[in-house]
Amino acid sequence: MRKIGLRVLAALASLGLLAGCSDSADDGAVPVAGEMRYDTTLTMRELMLHVLEFAADGLWSNAGWVEDANGYRELYPETEEGWEQVVASAAMVAEAGNLLNLPGRRMDNNAWVIYSEGLTQAGQRAMAAAIDRDKEALFQAGADVYSVCSACHQAYDPEINSRFVSN
């Protein structure tokens, strides 16, 4: 578990370092109360693709069942390491909700905040389910993540939503 946690921290730290690499004078950093600054150099699409979608796929590919040419099979992890990877993915989903609410990223103070907070809550439920190895709760939390993502895409980027739903 410690190995996975360190990987998550390293990934988040590297995202922060990569986000800070900018050639322009406008580095995307937004000052807030006091001297605190948030670097939001990553575009919304980059954040969605490289952080949120990657983390959500870590949930969705490890919960539920599929039937294919090889027959019916469960997708749930079979090892402790596999479960720890799902815990890490869920933690990243939860934190992605917070990232979406940072100054410089928040689209408005209405539905955007509700969707972002819903994503954080669904990620936290997925994390708790993965820690408990509760397959049913993990499946439901993954469905909740999907519902929040779909609703947000419908409201803020219908073009993306049509590709998201059809995949």
Q: What is the CATH number of the domain that holds 83?
A: 1.20.120.10
* CA torsion angle 108 109 111 117 (round to 10): 110
**Structural domain for 50, as ranges:** 42-166
- Per the structure, the count of domains in the chain is 1
Residue 127 inside a domain? The answer is yes
User: Which pLDDT does position 36 carry in this prediction?
Assistant: 75
User: Which pLDDT does position 165 carry in this prediction?
Assistant: 45
User: Which pLDDT does position 109 carry in this prediction?
Assistant: 93
- Count of CB atoms situated within 10 Å of the CB of 145: 28
Residue 29 inside a domain? The answer is no
Residue 130 inside a domain? The answer is yes
User: Which pLDDT does position 19 carry in this prediction?
Assistant: 38
Q: H helices of 20-134, where?
A: 44-47, 54-60, 80-100, 111-132
User: Which pLDDT does position 46 carry in this prediction?
Assistant: 94
Residue 21 inside a domain? The answer is no
Residue 11 inside a domain? The answer is no
Tell me how far apart the alpha carbons of residues 2 and 6 are, in angstroms, rounded to a whole number.
6
pTM for the model stands at 0.75
Residue 69 inside a domain? The answer is yes
Long-range contacts of 44-48 (CB under 8 A, 24+ apart): 44/105, 47/96, 47/99, 47/100, 47/105
In DSSP terms, 37 is beta-bridged to 31
Q: Are 83 and 133 in contact (CB under 8 A)?
A: yes
Residue 28 inside a domain? The answer is no
User: Which pLDDT does position 13 carry in this prediction?
Assistant: 44
Tell me how far apart the alpha carbons of residues 108 and 72 are, in angstroms, rounded to a whole number.
44
User: Which pLDDT does position 8 carry in this prediction?
Assistant: 46
Residue 31 inside a domain? The answer is no
Per-residue pLDDT of the chain (167 residues; tens, 9 = 90+): 445 544 544 444 444 433 333 333 445 555 555 667 889 999 999 999 999 999 999 999 999 999 999 899 999 999 999 999 999 999 999 999 999 999 989 999 999 999 999 999 999 999 999 999 999 999 999 999 999 999 999 999 867 644 444 44
